Structure 1
């Protein structure tokens, strides 16, 4: 699982681990969180979690990550491309550096890591799950570069499903509102309360989702959905319908 040290990635790792998998926790900068997660999992089941560091903006690092991944347990059954970078890039002020950074972290790394590991996944009749975003279909204002990258990741999911069939299934999960952003964490501030209410008003199920919702969908697509490929499932409480 790439970008697995915390939040959605960590939840996905824990879910696979709970279901008996040996897991590889990829991280870039979050070394403390990654090691803490691995230590916790290894206390539950010895030698069941390994951390690997790589900057997915660097092609040599991607190639090395793929090589180290295959060395860890001598096999690979599931790849989850979760690593992502997210920040605003208002149109008219976006820079090439921002474009490259967001495209690399959200798309390029996932493509070339999938390519590097594809032969092993074919041998194992494995599965790839890409963590996309509902903004792939409904772009977020002032986040055009991020939205474009996630839309491209969705297209990549469908393209690789064709390229790797029939041996490897490739699907995606598109999270909606799962965690409050930092600006909306203080629930006692009247403006925050109002902003939260506005968000929830647009979600038919009336609540935020949970990290486990994303992890469960990822596990289902990777392990239990034998006749599903090339699909991206939205986990957004119906928000995309409003």
Structure 2
């Protein structure tokens, strides 16, 4: 029998790469999406294909652009009639203090965190529905708990959480839709908004008093996809208890 297929957006690096590796270890073939990170995407695909031949393919698209989403959807459906798992991991993250935020900044965060996942799900429904597939959206604990100066990002993630619950109702019983709300897993790649003092405050507020690991998210994705067959419309915090303290 052919392996189940997972499409992971933003799968080249960081948490996305961990998700790809873990799902691959659990027996999935991987459709690895990237926007600009072609070199790490190819490196990861080569490693997965070395472990199991022809088990990973690359898919490039800018998910903030409707035309790119449409192109990706058409190309994917031309090649695959079914999709077992869609992981909406790709995300934009940037501060937008309200006094100076621009429409372009707001639109970019809304596009990467909400509009992109929405229209990608729409494009891939013809493959998800016959597979009785699963969708896992990467949300954020700050979808419900304010993060100072990141109001546009938080609003977009709150929309994604609402979308998760709404589509669970709309797409059931053929497609399950769940979300994961990470806490402090990896620090942002730049220090803007997360200097040393801020990082120390976050860890001090986390009951487990440490960062999480990308594998914590990857294992939760696999749980929703492979084990939680009677779970839909849920957003699970994977945050070491941080959301209990802020």
Same-fold call, TM cutoff 0.5: yes
Please name the residue that 2:5 is paired with.
Answer: none
The correspondence for 1:225, drawn from 224, 228, 235, is 228
- Indicate if the aligned counterparts of 1:24 and 1:69 stay in contact, CA closer than 8 A: no
The correspondence for 1:58, drawn from 65, 71, 81, is 65
SS of residue paired to 2:129: helix
Please name the residue that 1:215 is paired with.
Answer: 218
- Indicate if the aligned counterparts of 1:176 and 1:237 stay in contact, CA closer than 8 A: yes
Gaps of 5+ in 1: 185-190
Aligned residue pairs total 235
For residues 123 and 190 of structure 2, the distance between their equivalents in structure 1, rounded to whole angstroms, comes to 38
Q: What is the CA distance between 1:201 and its match in structure 2?
A: 1.2
Per-residue deviation, residues 102-145 of structure 1 (Å, max 9, x unmatched): 00011101000101111321111100000000110112100000
- Indicate if the aligned counterparts of 2:81 and 2:127 stay in contact, CA closer than 8 A: no
1:117 partnered with 2:124: yes
Gaps of 5+ in 2: 1-7
Q: What is the CA distance between 1:57 and its match in structure 2?
A: 1.4
SS of residue paired to 1:156: helix
1:46 partnered with 2:53: yes
For residues 29 and 147 of structure 1, the distance between their equivalents in structure 2, rounded to whole angstroms, comes to 24
The correspondence for 1:203, drawn from 197, 206, 209, is 206
More helix by share: 1
- Indicate if the aligned counterparts of 2:18 and 2:218 stay in contact, CA closer than 8 A: yes
Q: What is the CA distance between 1:195 and its match in structure 2?
A: 4.7
The correspondence for 1:138, drawn from 140, 145, 149, is 145
For residues 134 and 17 of structure 1, the distance between their equivalents in structure 2, rounded to whole angstroms, comes to 27
Length-normalised TM-score, structure 1: 0.93
For residues 67 and 85 of structure 1, the distance between their equivalents in structure 2, rounded to whole angstroms, comes to 24
Q: Are residues 55 and 181 of structure 1, via their aligned partners in 2, closer, same or farther at CA, if it must alter by over 3 Å? A: closer
Length-normalised TM-score, structure 2: 0.92
For residues 218 and 79 of structure 2, the distance between their equivalents in structure 1, rounded to whole angstroms, comes to 23
- Indicate if the aligned counterparts of 2:17 and 2:44 stay in contact, CA closer than 8 A: yes
